[in-house]
A and B are shown apart, each in its own frame.
Chain A
Amino acid sequence: EDKVVQSPLSLVVHEGDTVTLNCSYEVTNFRSLLWYKQEKKAPTFLFMLTSSGIEKKSGRLSSILDKKELFSILNITATQTGDSAVYLCAGATSGTYKYIFGTGTRLKVLA
């Protein structure tokens, strides 16, 4: 059965800290891994990773994929209170085009 596991489940840090969120996956016909940020409403897209070892960056956020070890990390540097959210990762399959989500990491950034 396909599954995506995220760790830690929750994390509390102070503004300015750097955090690393982990995502491991076992997905049949894996095509790509996606990261989403969910505040109070709908998940919003952050990154899609399809190739190993190539870092994607957007401001203070960056992510990388390791297809050999079947995991990805999401880094957030110089965290701000606005980064408080649930971060979701999802494995996308080819052929069936499904997205399988992990249960998320709840990040709280304290001022």
Chain B
Amino acid sequence: DAGVIQSPRHEVTEMGQEVTLRCKPISGHDYLFWYRQTMMRGLELLIYFNNNVPIDDSGMPEDRFSAKMPNASFSTLKIQPSEPRDSAVYFCASSLDGLLGNTEAFFGQGTRLTVV
């Protein structure tokens, strides 16, 4: 498996524009996580899905953020409208629900978002 695949790797956009980040989890993994990483706040969990269903979105900062998982192999994180304070690296991760609980999370390479 190629691992968790995210696109784009880098995104520069102007304030007010819509941004869509994409993620393909590892095949067969039951859980998908979206994280945001900044120097100030570290890795913050935004939302996670289990079997394509959103379980906890309490980390989503504002209504400007939304996430979907229409099928087991694809998820999107959308920011509309984007603001400069949204600039961060956004990671997608997936894990497998094993017999003893889920495995470690495997991370994608991240999308570095810059909003100017």
Number of chain A residues whose Cβ lies closer than 8 Å to a Cβ of chain B: 23
Q: Which of B42, B56, B109 contacts A103 (CB 8 A)?
A: B42
B15-43: which have CB < 8 Å to A? Answer: 31, 33, 35, 41-43
Given known contacts A42-B108, A48-B104, A94-B101, A101 and B31 CB-to-CB distance under 8 angstroms: no
Please give the number of chain B residues whose Cβ is less than 8 angstroms from any Cβ of chain A in the complex. Answer: 28
Chain A residues 93-111 with CB under 8 Å of chain B are 94, 96-104
Say yes or no: A97 contacts B43, CB within 8 Å: no
* Contacting residues of chain B (39-76) with chain A, CB-CB under 8 angstroms: 41-45, 48, 50, 55-56
Contact residue among A34, A44, A50, A102 (Cβ-Cβ distance under 8 Å from B42): A102
Q: Does A32 contact B (CB under 8 A)?
A: yes
Task: Enumerate chain B interface residues (CB-CB to A < 8 A).
Answer: 4, 31, 33, 35, 41-45, 48, 50, 55-56, 91, 93, 95, 97, 100-110
